[in-house]
Amino acid sequence: MTLKLIVACVALVALLATPARFVQAEELELEDDLEFDDDDEAMLRNIEAKHVSQDYEREDRMAKELASRIVAEHQAQAGYGGYPEEDQETYDAESAIGPDGQKRAPRLMDPCKGVRCGAGRVCSANTATQHAECICIPECPYESDPRRRVCTNQNETWDSACEVHRQRCLCNTNDPACRGEQVRHVHIDYYGTCRDMPECSENDLADFPRRMRDWLFNVMRDLASRNELPEPYMELEHEAETNMTKRWTNAAIWKWCDLDGHPHDNTVSRHELFPIRAPLVALEHCIAPFLESCDPNRDHRISLQEWGKCLQLDEDDLTARCAEITKDDEFEKNDIEAGA
Ligand SMILES: *[C@@H]1O[C@H](CO)[C@@H](O)[C@H](O)[C@H]1NC(C)=O
Ligand SMILES: *[C@@H]1O[C@H](CO)[C@@H](O)[C@H](O)[C@H]1NC(C)=O
């Protein structure tokens, strides 16, 4: 392990860990020194990339909040004084009269409360019907940061993920602001500016399963140490910490179950690979061919057996375990959705 890498490690750990966890995490890093080699520098970059992609999610949420504010403002203007009297009880009585005694735009009860709209959409309260509907985000936040750019499946660089989702929404709702028919099927291929991908050499590809296993285990451990690993996976993580033979298997089970979330159908579709693929493509030119190799029968679905095989793991231990965990996990997810 190079000095540069040690510095990078400690800096990254310092960045990620809460103070209470710092000592523990540092010990773990030291314990791992023997297994580390120069390739792990790339792994660290990947962990960093994961955090960047969490930033994207946060920004996506902010974009939606911004958009719903714009929608609300438009409606407040459109609805100024325009409501029939008998509907008055649906307005917030206090806000109907301003502090200066002047009548202000009445504020609607929020029919959008608890409504979730898909990517590129935002909930809008239809003033005429008092119903919530999902509309295309009216405006994405201006992005000047090149790291927010995304490369589409049409190999076109767009300013942000929000723009892609918004355009797709506009085209699919036949909005005149749709830039063109070809945009209907646009999606994000990877985060970052479109570029010429270096070839993944045979040697790099041969080594990739090992790096992927390492990476999965490190990410799982990192999430657990920050209490961000969902409860059903904590036991997997604990076993992985204490039993070396279960390290890679359990990490593989965790990621596969985690990816098979939309929906839980015991198979990981291409679409479900997005969270692992999109942030890594620009950094890891072997991720795309690697994931191809996980789907040898080309049915666009990766079974747990295929996943284990392409990570070069013994598949005996994989199956039963995951079924039981995804079941638990499903309950938890439903709870969260019901509560939201
Ligand atoms: C995608 O676009 C980039 C940048 O314009 C270019 O270098 C690259 O060759 C393109 N890739 C493909 C597959 O066309
Ligand atoms: C570690 O896991 C392996 C594989 O499941 C198992 O055979 C072995 O008994 C475990 N070792 C310990 C110390 O629990």
C-alpha 189 – ligand 1 centre gap (Å): 12
Of 160, 191, 222, the last residue of a domain is: 191
In a domain, 10, yes or no: no
The boundaries of the domain holding residue 210 are 202-329
Residue closest by Cα to atom 3 of ligand 1: 195
In a domain, 98, yes or no: no
C-alpha 245 – ligand 2 centre gap (Å): 7
**β-strand pairing of 268-269 with 301-302:** antiparallel
Q: Which of 236, 242, 244, 245 is the pocket-test mutation for ligand 2 (most atoms within 8 Å of CB)?
A: 245
Q: Which amino acid is at 309?
A: K
Instruction: Give the CATH number for residue 276.
Output: 1.10.238.10
340 residues of the chain, pLDDT tens digit each? 444 444 343 333 333 333 333 333 333 333 333 333 445 445 545 555 555 556 556 666 666 676 666 666 666 665 543 333 333 333 444 444 445 555 555 555 678 888 888 888 888 887 677 788 889 999 998 888 888 899 999 999 999 999 999 999 999 899 999 998 888 888 899 999 999 988 999 999 999 999 999 999 999 999 999 998 888 889 899 999 998 888 999 999 999 988 887 677 888 988 888 888 988 888 888 999 999 999 999 898 999 889 999 999 987 767 656 555 655 544 444 333 322 2
Residues with Cβ within 8 Å of residue 187, at least 6 apart in sequence: 152, 153, 164, 168
Instruction: Give the CATH number for residue 159.
Output: 3.30.60.30
| DSSP assignment string, 24-66 | HHHHHHHHTGGG--TTHHHHHHHHHHHHHHHHHHHHHHHHHHH
The whole model's pTM is what? Answer: 0.63
In a domain, 93, yes or no: no
Cβ(99)–Cβ(26) below 8 Å: no
Q: Which two tokens stand for residue 91?
A: 């307005």
- What's the structural domain count of the chain? 2
Is the shortest distance between the CB of 155 and ligand 1 below 6 Å?
Answer: yes
Residue closest by Cα to atom 7 of ligand 2: 245
Pair 208, 323 in one domain: yes
